[in-house]
Chain A
Amino acid sequence: SQTIHQWPATLVQPVGSPLSLECTVEGTSNPNLYWYRQAAGRGLQLLFYSVGIGQISSEVPQNLSASRPQDRQFILSSKKLLLSDSGFYLCAWSGARVTGELFFGEGSRLTVL
């Protein structure tokens, strides 16, 4: 069966420090991968998605970047965190068929101080 792992679960970082959140998927190949941010009162905002290795699409301009170095690995990064980067980040995957079903990770809560 397919599983998705995301880490770290919780992260407290100072302003200006770098960020790396990692997500891996097991049990499937060539998944579509996504990074969402869940902010209070703002719902789920799609940040990045990827259809394959090295292929990244950004939905909103921001201080973050994403990379997909391997088929089932998706990384969210920042060189210098801002206070506004605080939030709950969710990684998700979906199969090649466009069904509308996303499978989410457990999330990473980032607090920038």
Chain B
Amino acid sequence: AQRVTQPEKLLSVFKGAPVELKCNYSYSGSPELFWYVQYSRQRLQLLLRHISRESIKGFTADLNKGETSFHLKKPFAQEEDSAMYYCALKGVNTGFQKLVFGTGTRLLVSP
């Protein structure tokens, strides 16, 4: 069964501090991992996907198959990064697009 675990409900840091939002997954096949973000009063939207190996708004995430993790990192947090972050998983061979989401982590960046 597919499962995504985000152990932290809330992560509070000061501006300029490094940030790491944890995500662990359980999946027997090859996964595709994503991070979605919801800023205050905005819609839930895709932040980045592991396949693209991209850095979005300074955030990066590396898929570690050995540790079954996909942690989201940013070296210097900004106040505008405060939001709800969801990790999500999809099986590579899933014929229909079905994402399994974690429970989310609220990031609070204080000045």
Chain A interface residues (CB < 8 Å from chain B) = 32, 41-46, 49, 51, 90, 94, 98-107
What are 29 A-B pairs at a CB distance below 8 A? Answer: A41-B9, A41-B103, A42-B103, A43-B4, A43-B101, A43-B102, A43-B103, A43-B104, A44-B104, A46-B98, A46-B100, A49-B96, A90-B44, A94-B97, A98-B90, A99-B97, A100-B34, A100-B49, A100-B51, A100-B90, A100-B97, A101-B34, A101-B46, A101-B49, A102-B36, A102-B46, A102-B99, A104-B43, A106-B43
For chain B, which range describes its interface: under 10, 10 to 19, 20 to 34, or 35 or more residues? Answer: 20 to 34
B101 touches A44 (CB 8 A): yes
Among A43, A44, A46, A100, find the residue whose CB has the most chain B CB atoms closer than 10 A: A100
Chain B 92-111 residues near chain A, CB threshold 8 A: 94, 96-104
Question: Across the two chains, which residue of chain B brings its CB closest to A98?
Answer: B97
Question: Across the two chains, which residue of chain B brings its CB closest to A59?
Answer: B98
B86 touches A43 (CB 8 A): yes
A99 CA / B99 CA spacing, docked (Å): 11
Contacts of B99 in A (CB 8 A): 46, 100, 102
B12 within 8 A of A: no
A79 CA / B32 CA spacing, docked (Å): 37
B9 touches A32 (CB 8 A): no
A46 CA / B44 CA spacing, docked (Å): 14
Partner among B9, B44, B96, B104 whose Cβ is within 8 Å of the Cβ of A104: B44
